[in-house]
Structure 1
Amino acid sequence: MSIVYSVRPCRPEARPAPEEQLAWARADLAASNRPLDADAAALAGCRLIDNMAIAVASLDRSPVAAAPHLDLESFGPRARLDGALADVRSTDRAMRGVTAPSPIYEGDYGILAVLLGGQEAEVTLPGQGEPCRAILDTLTKAHSAGYHGQAIIDLALRLHGQLGDLYQVETITIHTKRMTHVVMGSGSGDPDKWDPRASRETLDYSAPFQFARALVDGDWHHDRSYDPALISDPAFVRLWGKVRTVEDEEWNRRFAAVRPIDKDHGGRAVIRFADGREQAEELAVANSHPRGASPWEFEDYHRKFKTLTEPFLSQEKGERFVVAARDLAKLSTAEVRILGVEADLRPPAEGAKGLLDRSPA
């Protein structure tokens, strides 16, 4: 039976005993000998393949080349690399005896205090003898865009070719949950979400852009969909400017489901034409979602890996990693420690302004 831990921030003088701290419970969980869940192990291998694909592809992307405003979001592509660097530095400091805030969750400088504003939280961990299955409640991304845009893109792809002359479209209103509306839509108050000069990382979090681009192209590609020449086309900019999001209480309710897998992430698009006609279509979850039209399996992750890493990995290196990751549960400790890839980066460009500027392929 699962165990629910109530986690509360505290001052140093009220520090809970070690065995009452969440970090202690997590460490005990990691060290315990538990049965292996086959589905969870298989998905862990797929996610390892997915994360490696994105990490390798991001190695060759300049964080500022496509960002005329040099906004903070332009550093998004290197998030995984920054995380890896932080891991190395943290390990080095730990080896030197430097410790983190303690308790790490409950302390006055811990996660609850700093990241959650002092809010209390509940964390559910597997009970004694139960396998770890939480990864089965997590979701993947089929498209190179923010997660809350995944279903929006698939909805637009479904409508591609069904609306006739897009020049006759007067408005497109996407009814969706608050998260999508505020983070990726009209509720953000961010005009850059409709600006063809915006960085790729801004458009990555623009539901109006994603819907319009997928609707026009009938496809979504990690590079072509962000092609500046296509984005700046006047006909596309005109259509893009007609897309708005609105917060819808029904979609808020559908997103509020307790189990992560039961949450509806999508929305309902209402297209109004110049002659007064309306057409509506909705999609609850992305196609790749476990409840979607085509839930992702190993071959989907494999295809994404090959697509993203082809410029940087030989087929032999890539396949060696994929095979090992697929059999993650069968690997020895020594094999897990050396699991990885060696990317083949292009040499720095002549006159490069930064370490990450590379010569053309």
Structure 2
Amino acid sequence: MKQYKIQIQKPGQQILKEEQLAYRIAKMASQDWVLTNEITEMVGNRIIDNAGVAIAAINRDPVRIARAQAMQFKNNNGATIFGLNDNKKYDCQWAAWANSVAVRELDFHDNIMAKETCHPGDSIPTILAVAQQNNCNGEDLVKAIATSYETQLRLSVSIALNPNKIDHIGHLGPAVTSAIGKLLKLDTETIYQAIQWSAHTSIFTRQGRKGQLSSWKAYAPGLVGKNAIDAIDKAIRGDTSPSPVWEGDYGIIKILLKKDNKDIYINLPEDNEPRNGILGTFTKEHSAGYHGNSLIDLAFKIRSKIEDTKKIKKINIYSKKYTHIVMGSGSNDKEKYSPKATRETLDHSAMYIFAVALEDGSWHHEKSYCEERKNREETIKLWNKIETFESDEWNKKYYEEPNPLKKVQGGKVEIFMNNGKKIVDQIDFANAHPNGKTPFKRPEYITKMINLFEDMVQNEEKENFLNLIENLEKLDQTQIKQLNISCNEGKINLDKNKIKGVF
């Protein structure tokens, strides 16, 4: 691993191409390296994870809409779409779109927690779609996915987006692009041009995650995935891009990312060094914003000490700044306390999440957010008794820890009862975290997937899929085209296909 300082261009100054961030990432992506069993296994885990959450979301509105759009672009040599039969193929750009929306919709897959937080598994649908259409093999696929995780992790450790109200997919676009470059074995110059184009078209504000939310965040990874494919295709054909996209005096960092980005350094692997970044990431056990996963587990832990939640007077939750201002009362977002709020708002409401988990002692990706559940009178009363606070202690345990796996994600809760009793407990990590009580390994990923499949997928289909994952690195191009999950006949809702759109 080698460290580089990211220079910010002054007016009239020139930064050598070889010293630009986009070129350094492109060079890393174009180099070959030897796979390790640990990386291959973790890539397989995340493909399993994505399959489960995608099928669980298969008939939700954003997924149905994206699938209906994608199905207008048939291509016999293309890529598969989640839920549909493997013999049906579509243009990789549109298959990537549909599958990315399915994976992202429930906010139920993996995470990076660093200077920036994000979901690196968002990259997999796009990379797999391109691999299927371009006849790539298992080793190509695994190395490409690992490259995307590496790029996104390194950018997330170095460059903060959220404090500047820029959405985290700003790092996803360049990561996916670097991966496609690796997948197709492109040269450094071509990948460099494509990364700059992708970075330029992956910047969005965080208004999509505040106030009255739509389904935008479900669509966002698919949008930058499509952009990444487009960027690579144009670069292969000889197109160039805005340069230097990050460091320029009108560039992304100088104009948009002024806060918390002084003296930026980035570490990147060199030559044949394994791309281990994926090992610094982790998945969710519960369908909620990651900062809420530890709060759900904390609620499960503390609820045995409470005889009757109706006798609670007040609940204070202490955690890091991010939890307080993004998911907590520090957001000053009234919708986070409203039963009229959308699921997209409530899965990022620490107050709602803690109240429901405390009452139920369980969490479900649909039932915990349904109309009946969020409108219970006793839940609304409890929910509005909860307040979050930024804590210096928890800030220190998160922000001053450089290792993403050691950043403490949890918090402390104080529950005040009507009789004057005070109950206090805390948790550092969600249970499924690598440092948690029950860290996820391959069996836990499989169990999560099977539970999410419910009655949507036949056992034979599930077993065939898992057999492919077990031999992931050795798959040939035909088997890569089979790396998909088809749902039982009649289980896919295609009503959105009946609507005549633009396509």
TM-score between both structures, scaled by the size of structure 2: 0.63
**Structure 1 residues 349 and 336: CA distance shift in structure 2, 3 A:** closer
The structure richer in helix per residue is: 2
Tell whether 2:136 aligns with 1:136. Answer: no
CA RMSD of aligned residues (A): 3.0
Q: For 1:231-283, what per-residue CA distance to the aligned partner results, in whole angstroms no more than 9, with x for missing partners?
A: 10101111111111011100001112111111101000000011111010000
Match for residue 494 of structure 2? 347
**Structure 1 residues 323 and 258: CA distance shift in structure 2, 3 A:** same
Match for residue 103 of structure 1? 244
What is the aligned counterpart of 1:260 among 383, 386, 404?
A: 404
Match for residue 327 of structure 1? 471
By how many angstroms is 1:14 displaced?
3.0
Tell whether 2:169 aligns with 1:22. Answer: no
Tell whether 2:246 aligns with 1:112. Answer: no
Residue pairs, 1:199-348, within 5 angstroms? 199-256=342-399, 257-310=401-454, 312-332=456-476, 335-336=479-480, 339-342=483-486, 345-348=492-495
By how many angstroms is 1:314 displaced?
4.0
Distance in 2, matches of 1:253 and 1:230, equals 36
By how many angstroms is 1:210 displaced?
0.6
By how many angstroms is 1:149 displaced?
0.7
Distance in 1, matches of 2:336 and 2:266, equals 35
Match for residue 359 of structure 1? none
Tell whether 2:207 aligns with 1:60. Answer: no
Distance in 1, matches of 2:57 and 2:223, equals 11
**Structure 1 residues 353 and 187: CA distance shift in structure 2, 3 A:** farther
Bigger mean CA offset, 102-111 vs 300-309: 102-111
Match for residue 9 of structure 1? 8
Match for residue 46 of structure 2? 47
Aligned partners of 1:46 and 1:326 also within 8 Å:
no
Aligned partners of 2:316 and 2:413 also within 8 Å:
yes
Q: For 1:20-63, what per-residue CA distance to the aligned partner results, in whole angstroms no more than 9, with x for missing partners?
A: 22233223322323232322221121112223333444442124
Distance in 1, matches of 2:470 and 2:298, equals 31
What is the aligned counterpart of 1:191 among 308, 324, 334?
A: 334
Aligned partners of 1:45 and 1:327 also within 8 Å:
no
Aligned partners of 1:267 and 1:284 also within 8 Å:
yes
Distance in 2, matches of 1:255 and 1:353, equals 49
Match for residue 86 of structure 1? 227
Aligned partners of 1:181 and 1:246 also within 8 Å:
yes
Aligned partners of 1:59 and 1:78 also within 8 Å:
no
By how many angstroms is 1:5 displaced?
1.3
Aligned partners of 1:139 and 1:289 also within 8 Å:
yes
Match for residue 115 of structure 2? none
Distance in 2, matches of 1:58 and 1:111, equals 34
By how many angstroms is 1:70 displaced?
9.7
Aligned partners of 1:49 and 1:305 also within 8 Å:
yes
**Structure 1 residues 113 and 40: CA distance shift in structure 2, 3 A:** farther
Match for residue 358 of structure 1? none
Bigger mean CA offset, 338-347 vs 135-144: 338-347
Aligned partners of 1:64 and 1:75 also within 8 Å:
no
Aligned partners of 1:74 and 1:200 also within 8 Å:
no
Match for residue 213 of structure 2? 72
Aligned partners of 2:213 and 2:344 also within 8 Å:
no
Q: What amino acid does structure 2 have at the position aligned with 1:282?
A: Q
Aligned partners of 1:160 and 1:217 also within 8 Å:
no
Tell whether 2:267 aligns with 1:124. Answer: yes
Q: What amino acid does structure 1 have at the position aligned with 2:26?
A: A
Bigger mean CA offset, 187-196 vs 161-170: 161-170
Tell whether 2:304 aligns with 1:161. Answer: yes
By how many angstroms is 1:80 displaced?
3.9
By how many angstroms is 1:92 displaced?
4.9
Structure 2 segments unaligned to the other structure (5+ residues): 65-209
Distance in 2, matches of 1:15 and 1:55, equals 45
Report the number of matched residues.
351
What is the aligned counterpart of 1:171 among 306, 314, 326?
A: 314
By how many angstroms is 1:97 displaced?
4.8
Distance in 2, matches of 1:71 and 1:32, equals 44
By how many angstroms is 1:77 displaced?
3.0
- Equivalent position SS for 1:282: strand
Q: What amino acid does structure 2 have at the position aligned with 1:305?
A: M
Structure 1 segments unaligned to the other structure (5+ residues): 356-361
By how many angstroms is 1:347 displaced?
2.5
**Structure 1 residues 354 and 76: CA distance shift in structure 2, 3 A:** farther
Tell whether 2:288 aligns with 1:150. Answer: no
